[in-house]
Amino acid sequence: MESKNKNDHSILRIEGLKKYFPVRRGFLQKIHGWVRAVDDVSFEIERGKTMGLVGESGCGKTTVARLILKLLESDEGKIIFQARDISRFSEKEMKPYRKEIQIIFQDPFGSLNPRMTVGQCIEEGIRISGIKHASRRKERLEDLLKMVGMSPDSADRYPHEFSGGQRQRIGIARALSVEPSLIVCDEPVSALDVSIQAQIINLLKDLQDQLGLSYLFISHDLNVVGYLCNTISVMYHGHIMEFAPSEDIFNHPCHPYTISLLSAIPDPDPDKKWYVKLSNGPISDSDGVLEGCKYQDRCSIAETACRKDRMVFEKVGENHFVRCWKAAKNI
């Protein structure tokens, strides 16, 4: 994917990222094959903007998050953050960058240490951000809590005393405590009720406007992604199948997988009988596709060429790319 934006505009650029996990069998644990969890993934996130990464379970989106956070080492590819290639950085070299990229998790109940008060949890980050005086740290703690819509006296309470939505706010305050520039949001609202979801989405948007944050927003919920994200990458079995600005993904989807995802969203408009357009084919869960397009087993327009050739990411519009030679030809 050509990057027309030079380093000034992009906060994160991923090029040809790969992560393969070995499958070991037998007494001697010989390598039997590879799970190609992340396979030639490339995208770019502009400073101050949000990119959505959508796909179904097992597509590799959480692995991408871990690679970006350097919780996992990639096998190949580049991770260019703020114009530096951090993909092969040692732990020592990564240290100053750790605070720049933070994460908010999906499970508000599992991601907070139950033995630490809210204040202790957030203070860890405040101390790392280098504020020396205790009174200034306390001020910062109060500011952070207010920023996420929590009262300052939450600091002395424990996570179990709060609801799911409130814990998510605490998680956001924790991520903000080290003053990051990029936050990976891994399904942050999937476990929340509709009315709380709206509150958290509004909060994330406000914080982005106030602090100039960039987000990588991982979700399987296309409605949330369509609302919040500037651009969207659609992922399937380790591959990015389509990338475009949100309006184009929804209004001019190209890849057959994107089209099937969009048609599967139950539509609250009772006039649109969405279920009529669904295909009847069974969904294969195997990653057994070794040659050709990964989507060939489920694809309604697959041909012989799709089963042999490696699909390339092709440009089909202004900032719109698709990994399907047929879809690209039809534009």
CA distance between the termini of the chain: 18
Amino acid at 44: E
Could you tell me the smallest distance in angstroms from the CB atom of residue 163 to other proteins? 7
Rg over alpha carbons for the chain, rounded to the nearest Å, is 21
d(CA 127, CA 150): 20
Contact region with other proteins (CB under 8 A), list: 44-52, 73-81, 150-158, 243-251: 243-251
Cite the DSSP H helix spans in 42-104.
61-68, 91-98
Binding test (CB under 8 A) with other proteins, winner from 124, 139, 247, 309: 247
Q: Binding string to other proteins for residues 146 to 185, with x set by CB under 8 A, is what?
A: -----------------x-x--------------------
Residue placing its CB nearer to other proteins in the complex, 38 or 224: 224
Residue 271's Cβ-count burial label (10 Å; 0-12, 13-18, 19+) is exposed
Q: Does 278 bind other proteins (CB under 8 A)?
A: yes
Q: Which of 85/247 has CB closer to other proteins?
A: 247
Which residues make Cβ contacts (< 8 Å) with residue 84, sequence separation at least 6? 97
- The region of 67-75, 139-147, 179-187, 279-287 touching other proteins under the rule CB under 8 A is 279-287
Interface with other proteins includes 301 (CB under 8 A)? no
Integer Cα distance of 295 and 297 in angstroms: 6
Single out the segment in contact with other proteins by CB under 8 A; choices: 128-136, 178-186, 225-233, 320-328.
225-233
Cβ-based nearer residue to other proteins, 16 or 281: 281
Beta bridge partners, 320, equal 317
Q: Does 122 bind other proteins (CB under 8 A)?
A: no
Using the Cα atoms of residue 235, residue 241, residue 245 and residue 249 in order, give the sign of their dihedral: negative
96 is a site residue for other proteins (CB under 8 A): no
Residue 205 near other proteins by CB under 8 A: yes
Coil, helix or strand at residue 158: coil
Concatenated DSSP letters for 128-147? HTT---HHHHHHHHHHHHHH
Q: Mark residues 41-70: x for contact with other proteins by CB under 8 A, - for none.
A: ---------------xx-------------
Cβ burial of 81 (10 Å; 0-12, 13-18, 19+) is: buried
Beta bridge partners of 12: 45, 81
Per CB under 8 A, 282 contacts other proteins = yes
Asked if 290 is part of the footprint of other proteins (rule: CB under 8 A), the reply reads no
Compute how many residues bind other proteins; rule: CB under 8 A: 40
Q: State whether the Cα torsion 274-276-277-280 is positive or negative.
A: positive
Give the nearer residue to other proteins in terms of CB position, either 26 or 266: 266
Q: Pick between residue 165 and residue 171 the one whose CB is nearest to other proteins.
A: 165
> 15 or 242: whose CB is closer to other proteins?
242
Determine the Cα–Cα distance for residues 172 and 183; give it in Å rounded to an integer: 9
Closest CA to 140 of 101, 179, 105: 179
Say whether residue 288 binds other proteins (CB under 8 A). Answer: no
* Contacting positions for other proteins (CB under 8 A): 56-57, 163, 165, 193-199, 201-202, 205, 220, 222-224, 226-228, 246-247, 250, 260-261, 263-270, 274-275, 278, 282-283, 285
